[in-house]
Structure 1
Amino acid sequence: MDGKSEIDELSYLSTQCHPEDVLLSSKLFFPDFVVVGEAVFLEAKYEDKVFDCWLKQFEGDLQATEKMINHTHLYDVFDGYSEDVDDKVFEQVAEVVALSWRLVLANNYPKKKFNVEVSSSDQDYGPVVSFYQVF
């Protein structure tokens, strides 16, 4: 063996993945955001009513509100596969998502500082990625 992985990722993509699948999945790694006042949210998860509810629940704490609204359970993203895939794969995907969110947030909002977290505790439903600002 020449030291290369037995899996050739580009060959796999070429034979197993449709370009539209790749394009759609890129939204997980490079999401759109919405800014509400000083807060930043994943556009796909933001709703005015939900924001108002959580902001009230957290007594005006924007950081806690961002963290709650922006949390993403990877089991939900890949709902049809959560039983068939090893948790280590989900954990690796979570780390890649977190890395890409850090890069995108830093690029889009260079004057803001964000904390992007990955958690996978017994209280969580699989690996979770979330972000919030550090004020």
Structure 2
Amino acid sequence: MKIIKSFAKLTGLKRFAAWRAGWQEPASADLFSYIEDVVSPEDSLIFCKWLFPDFVVFEDSVILEMKFDEAAFREWLDHFSGDKAGVERMLNHTHLYDAFSGCGSAVDEVVFEQLSNVLAMSWRMVLKTQFPDRSFHVEAINSDQEYGPVVTFHEKRATVSMSMTSG
């Protein structure tokens, strides 16, 4: 038998650990038992919309529909001097802390980091499926320079280099 892991073992799950501790045989209560007992199908379906988002293709740029605003697109396009990859990186820039602002500090930082990696993996798959002829760079950023973990993406575009020749 060979087990293929999609991503690393989940850690920092305080709510799951507290729920599991309430069982007579905690070792028998796994993640799927938790889903059966606690997780709402509606919440799961709504969360899937974040994992498998809709996109807007505007002026050949791919932007998350939930983040698209034409005025902001044009402002960032001007700011980045026409660099559409820069605009995509900026508009698709998603802070996980903001997405889960209602949770306060009750969530361990490692959970946000793991979730950012899962979200990036999911967006890679969706972008590859929806845009098979395009190539995207999707990244989960977990650095001190950001406000918590961030996921963003942009299309990889060929750069045009100009060389000068002397005659």
Structure 1 segments, 4+ long, off by >2 Å, are none
TM-score (structure 2 length as normaliser): 0.76
Instruction: For residue 28 of structure 1, report the CA deviation from its aligned partner.
Output: 1.4
Question: Of the two, which has the highest radius of gyration?
Answer: 2
SS in 2 for 1:31: coil
Q: Structure 2 counterpart of 1:78, which letter?
A: F
**Distance (whole Å) between structure 1 residues aligned to residue 49 and residue 39 of structure 2:** 16
Name the structure 1 match of 2:84: 62
Name the structure 2 match of 1:47: 69
Q: Structure 2 counterpart of 1:98, which letter?
A: A
Name the structure 2 match of 1:119: 141
Name the structure 1 match of 2:120: 98
**Distance (whole Å) between structure 2 residues aligned to residue 125 and residue 27 of structure 1:** 23
Q: Structure 2 counterpart of 1:24, which letter?
A: I
Q: Deviations over 1:51-95 (max 9, x none)?
A: 011001111100000000001000011111241111111000000
- CA shift in 2, pair 1:134/1:87, >3 Å: same
Alignment of 1:1-135 (within 5 A): 6=27, 7-135=29-157
Gaps in structure 1 of 5+ consecutive residues: none
**Distance (whole Å) between structure 2 residues aligned to residue 98 and residue 125 of structure 1:** 17
Q: Deviations over 1:82-120 (max 9, x none)?
A: 411111110000000000000000000000000001112
**Distance (whole Å) between structure 2 residues aligned to residue 56 and residue 82 of structure 1:** 36
**Distance (whole Å) between structure 2 residues aligned to residue 85 and residue 126 of structure 1:** 12
Q: Structure 2 counterpart of 1:105, which letter?
A: L
Does 93-102 or 79-88 show the bigger shift?
Answer: 79-88
User: Percent same amino acid among aligned pairs?
Assistant: 47
Gaps in structure 2 of 5+ consecutive residues: 1-25, 158-167
TM-score (structure 1 length as normaliser): 0.93
Name the structure 1 match of 2:8: none
**Distance (whole Å) between structure 1 residues aligned to residue 104 and residue 96 of structure 2:** 8
